[in-house]
Amino acid sequence: MWAGLLAVVVIIILASGSIGEDFLRNSGGEDLLWKGPVGWSRVGFYPGVTFAVDDKEEFSGLHSLTILCTDSSVRGKQPPPNWSQEIVEGLPLGRQVVLSAFIKTRNVAGFAAAAIQCLSYDQQKILVSATTGSLQGSTDWKAVSCSLLVPQGTDKVRVSCLLSGTGQAWFDDIELDVR
Ligand SMILES: [Ca+2]
């Protein structure tokens, strides 16, 4: 009887739909392939911008993702240099999602932040977006977060860890959770 009850409970938990599930791969930047972080893409290659996995600065584990920018003309460019990850399968339509991350900065003249965008393919547009609080100057690791409701019609959810302006930013433990 207890086994049967347990099975029912497990089925209910599984069917209740991934509450707390992290939709991002490799949230902590620990999973590397050819020195690149699995699941993360570099977006916004401009002169003076360097993307790397850093094994000397980390919030947890052994690595973080970093962006270094030495050219002040990069500030304001779209897209800003960012580490990006896109989710197209199993999207939590109609559900609230929370993006959380830890960011560290050094001499950032613009800002560093993380962002969520919900995009539709057919209209090729951003349906809704949210950005975490931003960090400037030099700060130790700080938790940031933002949330939004993923609207019906979303085909793709994009998470970006971005640096606008000169300086260096590190990103770690980047998670997108359903609430
Ligand atoms: Ca890490």
Residue ranges covered by each domain of the chain: 22-178
Cα 38 to ligand 1 centre (Å): 13
pLDDT at 17: 44
Give the dihedral sign, CA 115/49/41/123.
Answer: positive
Query: Which of 97, 94, 87, 130 lies closest to 21, judged by CA?
Result: 97
* pTM for the structure as a whole: 0.88
pLDDT exceeds 80 at position 45: yes
Per-residue pLDDT band at 6 (split at 50, 70, 90)? low
Report the pLDDT value the prediction gives residue 21, as an integer from 0 to 100: 78
Residue pointed to by tokens 């850093």: 54
Q: Cα of 118 to ligand 1 centre, how many Å?
A: 26
Question: How far does residue 115's CA lie from ligand 1's centre (Å)?
Answer: 19
CATH topology of domain 22-178: Jelly Rolls (2.60.120)
**Rounded CA separation 97/154 (Å):** 13
Distance 140 CA to ligand 1 centre (A): 15
pLDDT at 13: 45
List residues, by chain if needed, whose CB lies under 5 Å from ion ligand 1: 28-29, 58, 61, 63, 172
Q: How far apart are CA 165 and CA 103, in angstroms?
A: 15
Dihedral, CA of residue 43, residue 92, residue 22 and residue 20, to nearest 10: 150
Confidence of residue 4 (pLDDT cuts 50, 70, 90): low
